């Protein structure tokens, strides 16, 4: 069985933060990226893999942002599911094997801790970061902990009139 393709798509402040210290992402509301950027990416995945902190944030949204997609939450503290999500734990290779067995072929990896863990394991196949022209000064970093050195090749970049810059990389 082949492991699913893993890709991340995140927004990050100029100083490397993806959320405020308390996890809020309200600072993104002032910036608009064309919705087709994310929509095309989201349509290309069949499964969303998020960390517990990301999960705790998105369950507070007025609407479940993942629609009918399969959602797996990486956590050792599983709450009761609210939207049919599954709770998983373990090393990336094991989690991906379980997702593949359940039919996953393309996984959206989201949340700083999960992206960092999957990057460190060498299973992140693509990384798209939208750089927001804002310095937050403090918060939750995109890359967490010590990571091994990895080289990436630029696949695409696009500067939006709002000042956002979307960059997509693949490991070389």
> Each residue of 109-130: pLDDT tens digit?
999 999 999 999 999 999 999 9
The CATH number of residue 15's host domain is: 3.40.430.10
pLDDT at 36 over 80: no
Give me the count of residues in the chain: 172
Mean of pLDDT over the chain: 93
Domain count, the chain: 1
Q: What percent of the chain has pLDDT over 90?
A: 78
Continuous segment of H or E residues that includes residue 93: helix 92-101
Q: What is the CA radius of gyration of the chain?
A: 15
Structural domain range at position 151: 5-171
pLDDT at 1 over 80: no
Dihedral sign (CA 164, 132, 153, 125) = negative
pLDDT, tens digit (0-9, with 9 covering 90-100), for 159-172: 988 899 999 999 99
Give the side-chain half-sphere CA count within 13 A for 122.
Answer: 5
């Amino acid at each position: 069985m082949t492991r699913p393709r893993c890709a991340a798509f995140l927004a990050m402040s100029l100083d490397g933060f993806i959320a405020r210290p308390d996890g809020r992402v309200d600072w993104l509301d002032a910036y608009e990226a064309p919705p087709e950027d994310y929509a095309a990416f989201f349509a290309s995945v069949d499964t969303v893999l998020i960390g517990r902190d990301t999960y705790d944030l998105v369950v507070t949204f007025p609407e479940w942002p993942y629609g009918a997609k399969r959602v797996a939450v990486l956590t050792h503290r599983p709450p009761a599911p609210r939207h049919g999500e599954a709770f998983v734990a373990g090393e990336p290779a094991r989690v991906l094997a379980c997702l593949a067995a359940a039919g996953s072929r393309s996984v959206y990896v989201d949340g700083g801790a999960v992206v960092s863990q999957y990057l460190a394991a060498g299973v992140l196949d693509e990384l798209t970061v939208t750089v927001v022209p804002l310095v937050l000064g403090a918060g939750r970093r995109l890359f967490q902990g010590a990571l091994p050195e990895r080289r990436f090749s630029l696949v695409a970049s696009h500067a939006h009139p709002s000042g956002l810059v979307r960059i997509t990389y693949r490991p070389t």
